Amino acid sequence: MSTSTTGSEIKGETVTAAKEQTTAGVDKASVTELLERGRTMSTPVLRAAVDRLAPPMDTVAAYHFGWIDAQGNPSAGDGGKAVRPALALLSAEVAGAGPETGIPGAVAVELVHNFSLLHDDLMDGDEQRRHRDTVWKVHGAAQAILVGDALFALANEILLEQGTAEAGRATRRLTTATRKLIDGQAQDISFEHRETVTVQECLEMEGNKTGALLACSASIGAVLGGACEADADALEEYGYHLGLSFQAIDDLLGIWGDPAATGKVPWSDLKQRKKSLPVVAALAAGGKASKKLGKLLAADAKAADSADRNDIESFDEEEFATRAALIEAAGGREWTSQEARRQYATAIAALDKVDMRDEVRRKLVGLADFVVVREK
């Protein structure tokens, strides 16, 4: 089995160890094909759905998805990695249906995902997403709220208008996932104002914020294809742990990622004082670096509070570098990297609970590989 992604690195840190646990990989070209298939098959339906929105929401949404620029001219923007649609189509194949059966599910999860991006960017004050100004920056807060709401509603509409019992079951799972996603964002925000967050709390938050929707993506096509509840649950388990692995990598990239690749500002997560996995793991580790980091972050929190703001943008780059180095010295970087591998292994193991064609299983493993070994 060829695995051509060997050597991929996260800013100098080889994460290829994860690959060793792959029992049945697919080559990089196949993953690219899977992602491309997800995009190609779902985007026309997604665009038609977005076209239903009343102006100017249709335009604002088109900007968010990268189909037009801020001036309204067509653009071939980077619409994101599109892991979710790829998973949704694959998931239909698990149930023995054609990938097209998963399309309404692919569109629905993309809509929910983008609803959450629109609202989270506004709540977090993030000005950049996918190398472009965020919607609230370009079109204002009201449009970011409104278009987010509209995408959320559209997601349910697209599924329910299928009018089948399967679509009803799929909508129920999507709704549960969306509620968890919102719980996760609430936890994420509250963590920024708390002095201490345990590793367990952080994992729970990330499970809600990232795991739940990936779980739904990985099962929704199967549900639409008539899979039994047990199979759908096992696929959710795969997606959930894949999501946690994905998020662990994201947390590494949020501190040590290359801004040119991620499209985020440098030290993005540190600037927002996010208590992400590397941070909470470092703080929990004990030892000299851990204690020094704890003191520094507590002082940062105090300074930010007294200035009545959540970020600490006035710091220069060197001060963030100091914090990043302490997180690494305390072992937060290594622990998070290992956690990504552990979650990856749990995800792959869940696939054994479902009877599926080898080819489909290989593709699900291949997508998981892609998620764990990435630079953006």
**Can you give the binding site for its own copies, defined by CB under 8 A?**
52-57, 115, 119, 122-123, 141-142, 145-146, 148-150, 152-154, 156-157, 160-161, 163, 165, 167-168, 171-172, 175-176, 178-179, 182-183, 185-187, 189-190, 208
Distance CA 72, CA 94 (A): 40
Helices 229-256 & 358-372, crossing angle to 10 degrees? 20
We find the least distance from the C-beta atom of residue 219 to its own copies, in angstroms, to be 16
172 vs 295, beta carbon nearer its own copies: 172
We find the least distance from the C-beta atom of residue 168 to its own copies, in angstroms, to be 4
How deeply is 21 buried, as exposed, middle or buried, from its count of CB atoms within 10 A (0-12, 13-18, 19+)?
middle
AA identity, residue 45: V
Widest distance between CA atoms in the chain: 60
Helices 103-124 & 83-94, crossing angle to 10 degrees? 150
H-state helical runs in 257-357: 259-262, 268-271, 277-285, 288-306, 317-329, 332-350
41 vs 147, beta carbon nearer its own copies: 147
If you search the block for the tokens 């779980």, which residue do you land on?
A: 215
* Closest to 376 measured CA to CA, from 213, 211, 240, 246: 246
We find the least distance from the C-beta atom of residue 175 to its own copies, in angstroms, to be 4
169 vs 363, beta carbon nearer its own copies: 169
76 vs 165, beta carbon nearer its own copies: 165
We find the least distance from the C-beta atom of residue 373 to its own copies, in angstroms, to be 32
- Is 91:218 a contact under the CB 8 Å cutoff? yes
We find the least distance from the C-beta atom of residue 225 to its own copies, in angstroms, to be 18
Q: What is the dihedral sign for C-alpha 128, 117, 249, 99? A: negative
22 vs 268, beta carbon nearer its own copies: 268
We find the least distance from the C-beta atom of residue 228 to its own copies, in angstroms, to be 16
211 vs 257, beta carbon nearer its own copies: 211
